[in-house]
């Protein structure tokens, strides 16, 4: 029997009701309203995460590594395309309110965690989505906040959407012994269409105006930015 392409196979599973819906997943670690993919980690089961318009669907699935040095990955199928990310268990997805963008916070699965952020943005014409890496842009702005003896990169994750075109992104000093301000957080507003960082959000505004968006990690960092906190996985 010929093998079905990944896209068709995942869609078939969705139609048959085999795919667990993202709506039933626990709240996200970075964004309170994100869908965590922890429940399907370590299996070949896909998860469907439906957008606010109730029509657009992203299908996420983890894959095993092909070699001993390959940890596998996370694939998000959307609009006829497969988008690949690091395959750690703490990944989460966060739809924009207009259903035209999806934030993917991916985990590399390391012992101390390393998180990167990309957004999938629907093109004006057709069904395809383009992928924008936000981690490098945010990390460059956050670099002066990294009080680490060794070269380190921050954890970067999506916090919440202020509109269909604006995403709040947070960067956090990782839980590495070389860093003197573990858990310190800064937040930024990113334009979806361009991927440009528009402005920084001060910690007071973050915890007051956007506190209902904050996941556990960034909520702790925002409240206690002058103290040292270890990352909780």
Identify the burial level of 90 via C-beta atoms within 10 angstroms of its C-beta, where 0-12 means exposed, 13-18 middle and 19 or more buried. Answer: buried
Which phi-psi region, left, alpha or beta, contains residue 113 (left: φ > 0; alpha: ψ -120 to 50)?
left
As given in the structure block, the two tokens for residue 164 are: 């269909």
As given in the structure block, the two tokens for residue 32 are: 């309170």
* Average pLDDT over the chain, rounded to an integer: 81
**What residue ranges of the chain have pLDDT lower than 70?**
1-27, 65-71, 111-113, 218-233
The contacts of residue 36 (CB under 8 Å, 6+ apart) are 25, 26, 27, 28, 29, 90, 91, 92
Identify the pLDDT of residue 222. 45
Identify the pLDDT of residue 121. 95
**pTM (2 d.p.):** 0.81
Instruction: Give the other-Cβ count within 10 Å of 187's Cβ.
Output: 27
Identify the pLDDT of residue 191. 94
The vertex-58 CA angle with 231 and 97, nearest 5°, equals: 75
Q: Identify whether the C-beta of residue 107 lies closer than 8 Å to the C-beta of residue 133.
A: no
Q: Which residue has the tokens 């957080």?
A: 185
Q: Could you give the CA distance from residue 38 to residue 105 in angstroms, rounded to a whole number? A: 12
pLDDT digits (tens, 9 = 90+) for 173-183: 988 888 998 88
Identify the pLDDT of residue 69. 59
Is 123 in a helix, a strand, or coil? Answer: coil
């Amino acid at each position: 029997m010929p093998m079905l392409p990944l896209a068709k196979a995942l869609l078939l599973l969705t139609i048959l009701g085999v795919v667990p819906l993202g709506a039933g997943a626990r709240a996200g670690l970075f964004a309170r309203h994100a869908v965590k993919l922890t429940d399907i980690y370590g299996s070949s089961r896909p998860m469907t995460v439906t957008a606010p318009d109730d029509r657009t669907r992203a299908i996420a699935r983890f894959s095993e590594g092909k070699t001993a040095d390959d940890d596998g990955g996370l694939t998000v199928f959307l609009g006829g395309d497969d988008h690949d990310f690091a395959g750690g268990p703490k990944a989460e997805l966060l739809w924009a309110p207009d259903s035209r963008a999806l934030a993917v916070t991916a985990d590399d699965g390391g012992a101390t965690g390393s998180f990167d952020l990309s957004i999938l943005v629907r093109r004006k014409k057709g069904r395809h989505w383009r992928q924008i890496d936000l981690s490098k842009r945010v990390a460059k702005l956050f670099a002066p906040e990294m009080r680490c003896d060794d070269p380190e990169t921050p954890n970067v994750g999506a916090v919440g959407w202020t509109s269909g075109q604006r995403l709040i992104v947070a960067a956090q000093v990782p839980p590495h012994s070389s860093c003197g301000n573990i858990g310190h957080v800064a937040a930024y507003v990113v334009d979806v269409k361009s991927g440009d960082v528009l402005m920084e959000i001060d910690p007071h505004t973050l915890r007051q105006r956007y506190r209902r968006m904050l996941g556990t990690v960034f909520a702790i960092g925002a409240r206690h930015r002058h103290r040292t906190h270890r990352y909780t996985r």
